[in-house]
Amino acid sequence: MRTLTAIGMVLVLGLVGLARPTVIGITQIVDHPALNATRQGIVDGLRAAGYLEGQNVQYIYLNAQGDFAVAVAIAQEFKARGVDLVISITTPSSQAIVQVFGGTATPVVFSAVTDPVRAGLTQYPNVTGASDLIDVRSDLALLKALGARRVGMVYNPGETNSAVLTDMALKAAPDYGLTIVTASVTGTADVLAAAQSLVGRVDAIYVTTDNTVATALEAVVQVAQTAKIPFLMADPTSLERGALICTGFDYYDHGKLTAEIVVRILRGEKPSSIPFVRQAGTQVLLNLDAAQAMGYVFPKAIVDMATAVLYGGRRLVKAE
């Protein structure tokens, strides 16, 4: 009897060792620091919860490179490969994923989505996630404090996330005595010309969490620095890329917030029982190197509220 029991235990342990790892498909619309930080935060958050790549979890990473049709093809690829769960980073990628997985038995967790309701993601019981809705009013107040009266916004109206934020800015701007001047793009190749079209017409440039513009951010930086126009970007990872002032939250932390939702689902909770969450907290980061290069001096009130600065090529966090 003991021998049979021992043999049985060996067989059980052998089967456990051969158990198929959980397969998770992760996709994002483009490759840039904020989204990459989100993805890394997700993987690190899952690792901290005991989900180890190569052991009990397998990741399939696919990037749409800015093409929505490719994003849909990625969703179809995930379905064909029978993934156990999908993580979609950004609004366009999430919209592509729900075209294929919406209403199925496969859980979908979105991340870095501005407005899940307007994006059409909240009508499916198998879909939940984390929103990165920024504080547009706070950004407008900063632009006002910078001395701006007319603010140029470069954006892609084809991105639901960017259209939502631009609408919010247009509606709120009069409350701050600001006028918004928009310059629309359809792809990264349009960004330079759109930014140039604002020169002489605006006192500052403002870019929200627009994936198209973020991919070609250096074009906006070039125009802003040459024309000596303050440039505010609602993404802290853009500080080292040349934006004069950045706001928002740490996208790595946003990835970890997303991972918490994924872990709950992997441990048995249904997506329908987990409401989507919004990222909290806002940072203000100043690029002193860019300011020096364009001869710009930040108002003292802005300096006082800064949480970090870029100086000498190094990001320095202010002590609390």
| 6 domain residue, yes or no | no
Do 287 and 215 share a structural domain? yes
Q: Is the pLDDT of residue 5 over 80?
A: no
pTM for this structure? Answer: 0.86
35 and 158 part of one domain: no
* Residues 164 and 182 occupy one common structural domain: yes
- For residues 95 and 58, membership in a common domain is answered with yes
Residue with tokens 């993404």: 235
- For the stretch 54-65, pLDDT in tens is 999 999 999 999
Whether 243 contacts 233, CB under 8 Å? yes
> Mean of the per-residue pLDDT values for the chain?
93
221 close to 260: Cβ distance less than 8 angstroms:
no
The answer to the question of residue 12 being in a domain is no
Confidence of residue 16 (pLDDT cuts 50, 70, 90): very low
193: domain CATH number? 3.40.50.2300
Same structural domain, 312 and 206: yes
Confidence of residue 281 (pLDDT cuts 50, 70, 90): confident
Residues β-bridged to residue 26: 61, 87
Look at residue 12 and tell me whether its pLDDT is greater than 60.
no
Q: Within a 13 Å sphere around the CA of 13, how many CA atoms are in the beta-carbon half?
A: 6
Give the distance from CA 29 to its chain's centroid: 10
Statement to judge: residues 147 and 182 lie in one domain: yes
> Both 184 and 258 in a single domain?
no
pLDDT at 82 (0 to 100): 98
The pLDDT of residue 32 is: 87
Q: Is pLDDT above 80 for 184? A: yes
Report percent pLDDT > 90 for the chain.
90
Instruction: Report the pLDDT value the prediction gives residue 320, as an integer from 0 to 100.
Output: 61
- Assess whether 178 and 294 both reside in one domain: yes
In single-letter form, the type of residue at position 293 comes to A
Both 289 and 313 in one domain: the answer is yes
Q: Is residue 256 located within the same domain as residue 223?
A: no
Residue-number span of the structural domain to which 228 is assigned? 136-248+282-317
State whether 112 and 174 are in the same domain.
no
The answer to whether residues 300 and 159 belong to one domain is yes
pLDDT of residue 11: 41
In a domain, 181, yes or no: yes
DSSP string, the chain: -HHHHHHHHHHHHHHHHTPPPEEEEEEESS--HHHHHHHHHHHHHHHHTT--BTTTEEEEEEE-TT-HHHHHHHHHHHHHTT-SEEEEESHHHHHHHHHHHTTSSS-EEEEEES-TTTTT-TT-TTEEEEE----HHHHHHHHHHTT-SEEEEEE-TTSHHHHHHHHHHHHHGGGGT-EEEEEE-SSGGGHHHHHHTTTTT-SEEEE-S-HHHHHTHHHHHHHHHHHT--EEES-GGGGGGT-SEEEE--HHHHHHHHHHHHHHHHTT--GGGS--EE----EEEEEHHHHHHHT----HHHHHH-SEEEETTEEEEPP-
Secondary structure of 257-282 in HEC code, one letter for each residue: HHHHHHHHHHCCCCHHHCCCEECCCC
